[in-house]
Amino acid sequence: MANIIFHSNTKTFHLYNHQISYIMCVLENGHLGQLYYGKKIHDKEDFSYLVEKCGRPMTSYVFEGDRTFSLEHIRQEYPVYGSTDYRHPAVEILQENGSRISDFQYQCYEICGGKPKLNGLPATYTESDDEAMTLCVVLYDKVTQMKVELFYTIFEKGGVITRSVKLYNEGTRPVHLLTAMSLSLDLPDKEYVWMQLSGAWSRERHVKNRMLEPGIVAIDSMRGNSSHEHNPFMVLKRPNADENNGEVIGFSLIYSGNFRIQAEVDTHDVTRITAGINPAGFDWKLEPRESFQTPEAVMVYSDTGLNGMSQTFHRLYRKRLARGYWRDRPRPILNNNWEATYFDFTEDRLVEIAAKAKECGVELFVLDDGWFGERNNDQAGLGDWIANRERLPRGIKGLSERIEALGMKFGLWFEPEMTNKDSDLYRAHPDWILQTPERSASHGRYQYVLDFSRKEVVDCIYKMMYQILSESRISYIKWDMNRSITECYSAALPADRQGEVFHRYILGVYDLYERLTSAFPQVLFESCASGGGRFDPGMLYYAPQGWASDDSDAVERLKIQYGTSMCYPISSIGSHVSVTPNHQVFRNTPLHTRANVAYFGTFGYELDLNKLSEKEIGQVKEQITFMKEYRELFQFGTFYRLKSPFEGNETVWMVVSEDQNTAIVGWYRVLNGVNMSYSRVQLKGLKADTLYENTQNNTENYGDELMNLGLITTDVTSGEVVGDAVPCTDFESRIYLLKAKEQ
């Protein structure tokens, strides 16, 4: 049960559930101080000893005659710029007179059950008031007459605290918000390893670690999307923490645009974490009586290592961030035509691919890029969301009906935020792209970004998409976004509001998502941005799954999916079997390994099944039958990472059903060796006293055997083929299905 206590004598707030405590108090100067975030501790009226004041030379003090109270050394909740704290602030406000100083004093608080909605922004939610409690602390700066509301929600389950901030201009003059972070947290020491998920196109979300040291570490994006380069997610873990033990805190930002997550360690080893909209380039003009809502940030504390943290994120994001019809439903097995045909297809060719897929058991056929306007290659057509009649004589309506007549569902690709100069949309509205006056506009893949900060642009795209969706039989949309933003400037906004464009753009994207998902609640949305360039919690609120990467090679996917699983549920990870040689790394991996990796995701095929041999088709049919039987377990089970692809030749992970009666272990080895060592892996999450049948090697073991001495994964053929055993090769993998035996 979640609880929030306010001790009025000491002005102390204590948020707690059975796992964690989060404690703050009003400081002597009226600001809000941070006292503790960690494993649950007893409540007390007075925790003021945690305000670590100290007489230190060469600093600046708040009170005349007192050489102990300097904000520079005191842990705070929403630190301001430019007074006695020299660290990076959570908030910076520019007044008309040029001053950037503010002084936010505690005014009052409010506590309620549940969690209020964030207008226009994605956020976690509750379905009943007893799932969480929310505290709103109100602060006020009397010079700027700015009010700040700090929101903290503590969920009943897991070490979760969510935070967001609302700023109001209650004065009579406009101000500019230059920094308005969603979260600021001061931790008392720096003994943490900072872990981030970074990469590039086709190698997204690789795990990177470094020890914190005095100074600043940050990940961010200035590309207009959350980016392939850095995911809006970061973990602080104690040096002795690992997948299963030790203290870790995960920070995740529910936002899809320019973000920044930063740790600043000061000279006394206090660590300040800030997360929110990237202050670089941000400048939001707030007129009198206007307010600004920051995105939401989520913190998860775990004392059972990274797996404990990830399982909490998975549950929260699967059940209380993702929404709608598909949230709890196993995902359809799909066949996407992109790698099968690229732009080279006709209606008949598509139907041929779909028919073969249907024969194999695939449930959804997805038509990717190339179906609209004059889109014969990537240089034209974006923005003209009308079927190309040369390729699709019966339009999308006709094609979707043909696909449904095969007994499958039909899905369609869009890239709503973009246009090509060679398009009717651009010719009609050349001023609708983001472009700076007197500067040339850079392109990315020959495309330009539509100014989604303008309602009329979003309306126009909505109308085109609505038309196709309402007249055709569409069950799924892949929403792509294939370039980063440059020369960001909106022709519709005045000079002093240009610093708002990046954020307004994302609000426009969210608005279009909201309108489409409300109008077509049963359509399954999959987000995409050249693979995983916008794979973030903001997208997950609208699209319960995302194409994790354009890299569909099974070996590459081990790292991508392993990293992704740090924060994101398996049900959200778009993963398909593609052809060999693979189109990104030209590697040949066995068909079973490609499937064994793709099972741990939404599962599908990214190829023309007509091109496979009879034998391979037999395998595909078996894969689909297997996935249909176990997809609920894969997608909604409890996921454990057991061996990291970043640390060796083997990767192992597993899922366990809620009742712990069924588990599936995925074991993968990149390169084969000869005469190799014995190997075993300790499993997790099983019932110690239950006997499990292992269908892979026909053995029976108790849960405690599998968890303590481990599952034996040694090859029977390590250099020599024994009996009729099939010799292993490179890129080998196995799926172990464990079922509790009825006793």
Q: CA nearest 353: which of 602, 606, 618?
A: 606
Stretch that binds ligand GLA, among 159-167, 316-324, 393-401, 526-534 (CB under 6 A): 526-534
Three-state DSSP state, 395: helix
Whole-number Cα distances in Å, 103 to 27, 100, 106, 144, 177: 13, 10, 10, 9, 14
Residue nearest to ligand GLA (CB): 369
Report yes or no: 218 and 260 within 8 Å, Cβ to Cβ: yes
Counting contacts by CB under 6 A, is residue 550 touching ligand GLA? yes
- Chosen residue from 530, 571, 572, 694 binding ligand GLA by CB under 6 A: 530
Scanning 30-38, 184-192, 527-535, 597-605 for contacts with ligand GLA by CB under 6 A, the matching segment is 527-535
We find the least distance from the C-beta atom of residue 550 to ligand GLA, in angstroms, to be 5
Tokens (6 digits) for 418: 């973009």
Amino acid at 514: E
Tell me the residue type at 127: E
Binders of ligand GLA in range 394-423 (CB under 6 A): 413
Burial class (CB in 10 A: 0-12, 13-18, 19+), 46: exposed
Q: Where are the beta strands (DSSP E) in 287-422?
A: 291-293, 296-302, 334-336, 364-367, 409-414, 418-420
Q: How far is the CB of 639 from ligand GLA (least distance, A)?
A: 24
The residue (of 547 and 639) whose beta carbon lies closer to ligand GLA is 547
Is 204 a binder of ligand GLA (CB under 6 A)?
Answer: no
Q: Residue 705 has what DSSP assignment?
A: I
Q: Which is nearer to ligand GLA, 61 or 343 (CB)?
A: 343
Is residue 528 a contact residue for ligand GLA (CB under 6 A)? Answer: yes
Q: Tell me the closest approach of the beta carbon of residue 742 to ligand GLA, in angstroms.
A: 44
Distance of closest approach, residue 435 Cβ to ligand GLA, in angstroms: 23
Interface pick for ligand GLA out of 140, 233, 284, 338 (rule CB under 6 A): 338
Q: How far is the CB of 529 from ligand GLA (least distance, A)?
A: 7
Q: Return left, alpha or beta for 284; rule: phi > 0 is left, psi -120 to 50 is alpha, else beta.
A: beta
CA distances (Å), 57 to each of 49, 67, 76, 219, in order? 21, 8, 20, 33
When the beta carbons of 416 and 637 are compared against ligand GLA, the nearer one is: 416
C-alpha atoms less than 13 angstroms from C-alpha of 432 in its C-beta half-sphere: 25
Q: Which of 472, 467, 469 is nearest to 520 (CA)?
A: 469
| Minimum gap (Å) between residue 323 Cβ and ligand GLA | 24
The nearest distance, CB 511 to ligand GLA, in angstroms, is: 23
Task: Tell me whether residue 312 or residue 482 sits nearer to ligand GLA (CB atom).
Answer: 482
Report, in Å, the least distance between residue 413 CB and ligand GLA: 6
Which CB atom, from 221 or from 530, has the smaller least distance to ligand GLA?
A: 530
Nearest residue (CB) to ligand GLA, 161 versus 540: 540
- Closest by Cα among 81, 55, 80 to 69: 55
Element (H, E) at 21: strand 20-26
Q: Which residue in the block uniquely carries the two structure tokens 């007549």?
A: 405
Count of all residues that appear for the chain in the document = 743
Nearest to ligand GLA of 320, 478 (CB atom): 478
Smallest distance from the beta carbon of 341 to ligand GLA, in angstroms?
Answer: 11
Site membership for ligand GLA, residue 297 (CB under 6 A): no
Residue 410 near residue 403, CB atoms below 8 Å: yes
| DSSP reduced 3-state for 605 | strand
Secondary-structure breakdown of the chain: helix, strand, coil percentages, each rounded to the nearest 5 = 20, 30, 45
Q: What is the DSSP letter of 552?
A: -
Identify the CA nearest to 37 among candidates 20, 56, 53, 25: 20
Cβ nearer to ligand GLA, comparing 338 with 667: 338
Shortest Å, Cβ 284 to ligand GLA: 31
531 interacts with ligand GLA by CB under 6 A:
yes
Whether 588 and 320 have beta carbons less than 8 Å apart is answered as: no
Between residue 467 and residue 506, which ones bind ligand GLA under the rule CB under 6 A?
480, 482
Binding of ligand GLA by 547 (CB under 6 A): yes
Q: What are phi and psi of 327, to 5 degrees?
A: -50, -50
Nearer to ligand GLA, 543 or 642 (CB): 543
Contact 214, 190 (CB under 8 A): yes
* Minimum gap (Å) between residue 350 Cβ and ligand GLA: 15
553 scored as a contact of ligand GLA (CB under 6 A): no
DSSP string, 244-289: SSB-EEEEEEE-SSSEEEEEEE-TT--EEEEEEE--TT--EEE-TT
Burial environment of residue 648 by CB neighbours within 10 A (0 to 12, 13 to 18, 19 or more):
exposed
Is the Cβ of residue 531 or residue 563 nearer to ligand GLA in the bound state?
531
Q: Segment near ligand GLA (CB under 6 A), from 105-113, 121-129, 261-269, 525-533? A: 525-533
On whether the CB atoms of residues 481 and 464 are closer than 8 A, the answer is no
Q: Report d(CA 491, CA 484) in Å as an integer.
A: 19
Using rule CB under 6 A, residue 171 touches ligand GLA: no
Shortest Cβ 355–ligand GLA spacing (Å): 22
Q: Which is nearer to ligand GLA, 342 or 702 (CB)?
A: 342
Contacting range for ligand GLA; rule: CB under 6 A; set: 15-23, 289-297, 459-467, 523-531: 523-531
Residue 691 neighbours by CB under 8 Å, 6+ apart: 700, 701, 702, 703, 740, 741, 743
Query: Residue 605, interface with ligand GLA (CB under 6 A)?
Result: no
Cβ proximity to ligand GLA, 368 vs 715, nearer residue: 368
In terms of CB distance, is 318 or 478 closer to ligand GLA? Answer: 478
Question: Which residues participate in catalysis according to the annotation?
Answer: 480, 550
How many chain residues touch ligand GLA (CB under 6 A)? 11
* 15-23, 524-532, 569-577, 714-722 -> range binding ligand GLA (CB under 6 A): 524-532
Q: Position 380: which residue type?
A: A
Q: Which of 92, 186, 363, 369 binds ligand GLA (CB under 6 A)?
A: 369
Backbone angles phi, psi at 371, to 5 degrees: -95, -5
Site residues, ligand GLA (CB under 6 A): 338, 368-369, 413, 480, 482, 528, 530-531, 547, 550
